[in-house]
Amino acid sequence: MPELPEIKAHAERLAQAFGDIALERFEPLSFVALKTFAPPPESAYGLPLQRVGDRGKYLLLEFGHVTFIVHLMQGGRLRSDTSTAKRPRNGVARWHFADGRRLLLTEAGTEHKAGVWVTDEDALKIEPLVTLGPNADVITREQLREALDAHSMRLHTFLRDQHAVAGVGRRLANEICHRARLSPFAQTRSLDTGQIDRLHVVMGEAIAEGLAFERNRDDMSSSKDRPGQAHHRTGEVCPVCGDKIREVTYRSYTVHYCATCQTGGKILADNTTSKFLK
């Protein structure tokens, strides 16, 4: 799933390509594409794309007083539409612009959860954005401490919880825990002052590195291509200590970690019976 660095860089690309061009028509291609019924998308017709913003893992296409909120979910992409098909493969929605160009939202895979919300209110104050935690790239150290205290859970779970910190997904959670030398299963309320300081610093570093990588691309990267020291590195040598990167696999995600750097040498062999060092 695209995370904050990929979303932010893609917002910049879209703004450069489509900025100030008027919207001619919005075309849902899937029955579940449009998540709202008021205001209608037609209220944005004739208005120029003034800004492409981001909030967590969401893109915000702002046409005057009307905002389209777009969530790509796991396999979604929002790109210039070069298809001539009336209903392109994996198509979710299209934006037709006055200069003849189009934007196409697609979603590969079987989940079909990508979608679009339309609002003429402050987008940050309504669903689905109002319940998000602070963006991970701008969260302050104090905000992070308060969020850790407010959410009693494992650190890896906390980092992926969009209500706690917005914009971090599986890859960044693995990278942040590894860089911070913290067990992915450390309890949030057990972290001391030094560990919170370290967590805050490396969160910013990991996001900045990802953003720099994305800004050198013409399109959004895939997860396997993104830079990192732990994510998708199972069996490889840890660049910090020389141990090997290990994994704990769950149904919908995998935790990657270095036992020497993060868990005091403890190895999790079976996630149903063993425990990380907390």
Q: What is the CATH number of the domain that holds 198?
A: 1.10.8.50
Is there a domain that residue 130 lies in? no
**145, 258: one domain:** yes
Beta strands in 226-265 (DSSP E): 245-249, 254-258
**186, 105: one domain:** no
- Tell me what pLDDT residue 102 has: 97
Instruction: Please write the tens of the pLDDT for every residue from 14-44.
Output: 999 999 999 999 999 998 899 999 999 999 9
**Which band of pLDDT confidence, cut at 50, 70 and 90, is reported for residue 269?**
low
The mean pLDDT of 221-245, rounded to a whole number, is: 90
For residue 59, give the CATH number of its domain: 3.20.190.10
Peptide bond into 184 cis (omega under 30): no
CA atoms within 13 A on the CB side of 181: 11
**Which band of pLDDT confidence, cut at 50, 70 and 90, is reported for residue 150?**
very high
Closest CA to 60 of 73, 70, 50: 70
Domain containing 231 equals: 141-262
The mean pLDDT of 232-239, rounded to a whole number, is: 94
Is there a domain that residue 16 lies in? yes
Instruction: Please write the tens of the pLDDT for every residue from 179-192.
Output: 999 999 999 999 99
Instruction: Please write the tens of the pLDDT for every residue from 64-91.
Output: 999 999 999 988 999 999 888 888 999 9
pLDDT at 276 exceeding the cut of 50? no
Cα–Cα distance between 83 and 48 in angstroms, integer? 23
Cα–Cα distance between 190 and 136 in angstroms, integer? 21
**153, 76: one domain:** no
**110, 153: one domain:** no
What proportion of the chain, given as a percentage, has pLDDT over 90?
82
pLDDT at 273 exceeding the cut of 70? no
Mean pLDDT of the chain: 93
**116, 158: one domain:** no
**196, 223: one domain:** yes
**86, 153: one domain:** no
The mean pLDDT of 118-137, rounded to a whole number, is: 97
**36, 118: one domain:** yes
